[in-house]
Amino acid sequence: METSFYSREELQNLGFSKIGDHVLISRFARFYNISAISIGNNVRIDDFCILSGNISLGNNIHISAFCALYGSNEIIMNDYSGLSPRTTIFSTSDDFSGEFMVGPMIPDEYRNVNGGQVIIGKYVQIGAGCVVFPDLKINDGVTVGALSLINKSLEPWTIYAGIPARIIKKRSGKIVELAGKYSESK
């Protein structure tokens, strides 16, 4: 019986560089350069997501519907992290100054593409509709409110929101204790 998620056998045949145990991926998600994508254990990727490029997902991760990860440079999501619906992560960006042309159909000599690795730490939750720019780190324990723009690295165990994202307040670290209890119960 076919479900909305790929079977284990189907996942193994898709060509990921690594695929962990207990992985649920919607049949409506799309992958590009799949051999550069690594997925850990207990990961769920919902409908209409796009994952493209060099992407590494740790364990216990949820990527909600309509998210996009563009990993021309590396995108790393660490354990117990999640993306709420319609979040987009870019590891590269065109130069929109007008000094260069933009877009993937333009030859490289006419473009100025910049970027860098995006690292999402453990216990991070990024709210719905957020945009993450290239070359930054979202440190452990960060949460970001819906519709925020993340254009610089974020301090650990802090709640952010806004355009650009600004500190709202510190976040409790009790989640680490809960994750330990969860791991022990398995």
> Distances from the Cα of 47 to the Cαs of 52, 64, 174, in angstroms?
15, 8, 31
Flag whether the pTM goes above 0.85.
Answer: yes
pLDDT score at 3 = 86
pLDDT at site 186: 81
Instruction: Kindly list the structural domains of the chain, giving each domain's residue range(s) and its CATH number in brackets, ordered by start.
Output: 8-185 (2.160.10.10)
pLDDT of 64-89, one tens digit each?
999 999 999 999 999 999 999 999 99
pLDDT digits (tens, 9 = 90+) for 42-55: 999 999 999 999 99
Residue pair 53/76 in contact (Cβ under 8 Å)? The answer is no
Please give the structure tokens belonging to residue 158.
């802090």
Q: Please tell me whether residue 109 adopts helix, strand or coil conformation.
A: helix
Instruction: Mention every residue, 6+ apart, whose C-beta is less than 8 A from residue 74.
Output: 54, 55, 56, 91, 117, 118
* pLDDT band for position 11 (cuts 50, 70, 90): very high
CA dihedral sign, ordered 151, 77, 35, 1: negative
Question: Per-residue pLDDT for 30 more than 60?
Answer: yes
1, pLDDT greater than 90: no
- Residue 12, φ and ψ in degrees, nearest 5: -65, -30
Element (H, E) at 181: helix 174-185
Cα Rg, the chain, nearest whole Å: 17
Round the average pLDDT of the chain to a whole number and report it. Answer: 97
- pLDDT, tens only, 132-180: 999 999 999 999 999 999 999 999 999 999 999 999 999 999 999 999 9
Tell me which DSSP letter residue 145 carries.
Answer: -
Which contacts qualify for 92-99: CB closer than 8 Å, 24 or more apart?
92/134, 93/133, 93/134
The span from the CA of 6 to the CA of 21, in Å, is 13
